[in-house]
Structure 1
Amino acid sequence: MTTERPLAGKRLHIAGSVGPRTPSALAVYAHELVRQVVHGVIEGGGGIVVGAGKEPTLEEGPAQVFDWSVLEVIAEAIRSGICPEAMGTRCPVVVVVSEKGETEIPASRRGLWTELLGTGKVEVKRIMAGARSATMIRELQMGYGDALFILGGGTGVEHLADGYKKSCKGVIPLDLPLGASREDGTGGAERLARESRVNPLNFIRLRGGELGTEGAKLAKIATDQGRAPISVVSAGIIEILAVLAPPTAFYVRLLNPKHEAYERVEKYFRNVVDPVIEERGLARVDLGKDQVESGFLNVEVFKRLHHSMVAVVDVTGERLNCFIELGYALARPLRVLCTAEQGTKLPFDQSAIPCHFWKDGEPEEDRKEGFRAFWSQYIDRSPLVP
């Protein structure tokens, strides 16, 4: 990430809908806002996650979904050359569809769809053949988005927000009263926007010097029932995305420097775990080395562990506090990777959980490759408690 491309490597997932009785003026406002946000993300070096399919419209008004407004801007960005290049196998734009949804793309959008498929910058992901489950589409989308922007909608956006928050990814809900295309849910993005003003840290966490300004930044994107200038709101959303804290990997490990295994564990985390964590776009939380936010270390441990996306739990030394933290991590819907020095005896309850045993003295590149392979094999295991 650079100051010129502050969103490089980040994908924003955009979702929502407009209710059938929503005034057309509000829907027009929402579509223009979405267009400006997408343009800002692409210009900032970021990518997009979205769906594609049919395009229901209000009576004599704009569409009730935002997918095609998003895809129009992406196509314009690709034509003009501002869309980021693919990063290896990681395309900047991911579109998730069902087999049936793809057949429902309207004739007026077929040309745009074909154009996008030929650009090399749009990756299409399909759920199981024959399935049309909206839930399956959303769950697949969540794996590709780094943050979520929602407006209007009902049950669908509520499901997405819950999933993103469980994965400790940022959720930016808009307060615009758009309703939901299916008139379902419990208030959709509008309700979630109200909640975000009360508990901002439940929705976004900002990095470094921006920490503590979450509430102010969310207040800046208030739409005032569609009266706030769209440029101001969209700029506020881009500003939030640019300073979102990266998801964290929490380290559970031996911290007593007097223990005979301490130096070996320290070397393993610094030379092996740290580089692999950084490769995956995560920020480490190692309370033996990093700044503590709370005045009480025991409170800090569980607070930071609770809000992490990944826990790397090393039980070398068989310390009781490590096993307590492992138990807490396993009870959370986060990803847990267990490691230990070769020769460590695992307790009965942990022995059924995959564990990567490392050996001191092996070449560091070999040890990193071993941890990478273990990560790839087990990082997507379902949590014990979903």
Structure 2
Amino acid sequence: MADILIAGALDFSREDSRTFITHLGEEVIAQGHNLLNGCRNEFDRAIAQAVHAAATSRGIDPERRITSYVVAHADPAHTLGKVLRSRLAGWGLEFESLHVPEPVHEAEAVVVVGGKDGTLCAANWARIDNKPLLPVTAFGGAALTAYTEELKEFDAKYGGRLDRAQYEALNQVPSDLAKLARDVVALAARVQASRFVFAIMSFSDDPRMQDAYESFKEVCEEFEYECARVDNTTASGRIVPQILESIHRAAFVIADLSEQRPNVYYELGLAQGMKKPYIVTAAKGTLLPFDVHDVPTIFWENQKQLKDGLRRKVREIATSQGR
């Protein structure tokens, strides 16, 4: 289940605009997600109505699936679902004290459709807060501009968790609006920031390594990530599908080089090749090979040192991923 902000503006005198928004709302519910909403304009009202209708038809309480924010001192564009008052007087970028608007900050993916300056502002806030941004270009407007800019950053932002062709589907000329809506919502779920962290380390019986793994898990949980490793009993051959899949879906990896196992270096190399953020740790006294000796490494003598170092690194990654 993903929390998806859908923002924009369309000409609702056009049948294709009305049809697409209806399908988009249906897909949010059909695929099991929640709508975040700006509650500011006709578009916000239309997408909330579509999600509300889809939820009601399935016997789902709309208040559990629609959360809208309205800026302070403004009238809400609708009262569907749960409507909350923003702590901000406005969501523009011109205010002296800048804060990410709640609908953007709470979103796990941001979809923008059509629109003008307000939609472009929402897209820019998504970038500032490092949120996955999915501009649907079929209706032109600010979403087309946002798509062009976001595509330039594709490798850095989405590489390793999304194929470029999947993202470029946002730029398709739609012959089937229902399929376009289905693809957009599915992509929003797929591209949301992962909470999974893959631990790459020796499966040694050394109690220090067991304690290190527990430290990995503890620190990750503090930042609402889930850390796990592929149990060595599943391994066969050079590399198992579970390891490749785990690296691919991870938000980042933690690699401990203390025992200098070849598979650990190999898996760390795979993560680097997939452009995954990574944290390297090693017990104090570990002599690292020349090709990784200059990689920033947390050297630890005890678990307190390890956890303190991990917290600093995980906090940096969490911030960069909009957590």
Post-superposition shift, 1:169? 3.7
Q: 1:82 to 1:138 in 2, by over 3 A?
A: farther
Map of 2:67 onto structure 1: 94
Map of 1:341 onto structure 2: 303
Q: 2:34 aligns with which of 47, 58, 61?
A: 47
Residues of 2 paired with 1:322 and 1:94: CA distance?
47
Map of 2:277 onto structure 1: 305
Aligned AA (1:230): L
Q: Say how many residue pairs are matched.
A: 280
Map of 2:239 onto structure 1: none
- What is the aligned-residue identity percentage? 14
Residues of 2 paired with 1:242 and 1:285: CA distance?
18
Q: 1:285 to 1:126 in 2, by over 3 A?
A: same
Match of 1:30, SS state, is helix
- The CA RMSD over aligned residues, in Å, is 5.0
Residues of 2 paired with 1:155 and 1:255: CA distance?
52
Query: Structure 2-normalised TM-score?
Result: 0.63
Residues of 1 paired with 2:86 and 2:71: CA distance?
5
Is 2:180 the counterpart of 1:230? no
Q: 1:83 to 1:172 in 2, by over 3 A?
A: farther
Q: Deviations over 1:294-335 (max 9, x none)?
A: 9983981893228xxxx8x97974989799368xxxxxxxxx
Say whether the 8 Å CA contact 1:171–1:204 is kept in structure 2.
no
Residues of 1 paired with 2:318 and 2:251: CA distance?
21
Q: Deviations over 1:214-251 (max 9, x none)?
A: 31x34444453xx6331232122133234336425667
Q: 2:2 aligns with which of 2, 7, 10?
A: 10
Match of 1:101, SS state, is coil
Q: 1:278 aligns with which of 222, 226, 238?
A: 226
Residues of 1 paired with 2:306 and 2:172: CA distance?
57
Post-superposition shift, 1:277? 2.0
Match of 2:138, SS state, is coil
Post-superposition shift, 1:155? 4.3
Q: How does 1:69-108 map to 2 (within 5 A)?
A: 69-83=46-60, 91-102=64-75, 105=77
Q: How does 1:141-156 map to 2 (within 5 A)?
A: 141-156=103-118
Q: How does 1:15-54 map to 2 (within 5 A)?
A: 15-18=7-10, 24-25=13-14, 28-53=15-40
Query: Structure 1-normalised TM-score?
Result: 0.54
Say whether the 8 Å CA contact 1:49–1:95 is kept in structure 2.
yes
Say whether the 8 Å CA contact 2:72–2:90 is kept in structure 1.
yes
Map of 1:324 onto structure 2: 296
Q: How does 1:109-148 map to 2 (within 5 A)?
A: 113=79, 116=80, 122-128=81-87, 131-135=89-93, 139-148=101-110
Q: 1:33 to 1:204 in 2, by over 3 A?
A: farther
Map of 2:260 onto structure 1: none
Structure 1: which 5+ runs fail to align? Answer: 1-8, 56-64, 117-121, 180-187, 327-339, 357-374
Map of 2:134 onto structure 1: 172
Q: Deviations over 1:14-66 (max 9, x none)?
A: 11124xxx7953xx42343122112101111100011113x4xxxxxxxxx41
Aligned AA (2:52): A
Q: How does 1:178-327 map to 2 (within 5 A)?
A: 178-179=140-141, 188-195=142-149, 200-201=154-155, 204=158, 211-212=162-163, 214-215=164-165, 217-222=166-171, 224=173, 228-244=175-191, 246-248=193-195, 261-270=208-217, 273=220, 277-278=225-226, 283=250, 285-288=252-255, 297=269, 300=272, 303-305=275-277, 317=284, 324=296
Residues of 2 paired with 1:323 and 1:202: CA distance?
19
Q: 1:345 to 1:84 in 2, by over 3 A?
A: closer
Post-superposition shift, 1:283? 4.2
Map of 2:45 onto structure 1: 68
Q: 1:202 to 1:16 in 2, by over 3 A?
A: farther
Match of 1:34, SS state, is helix
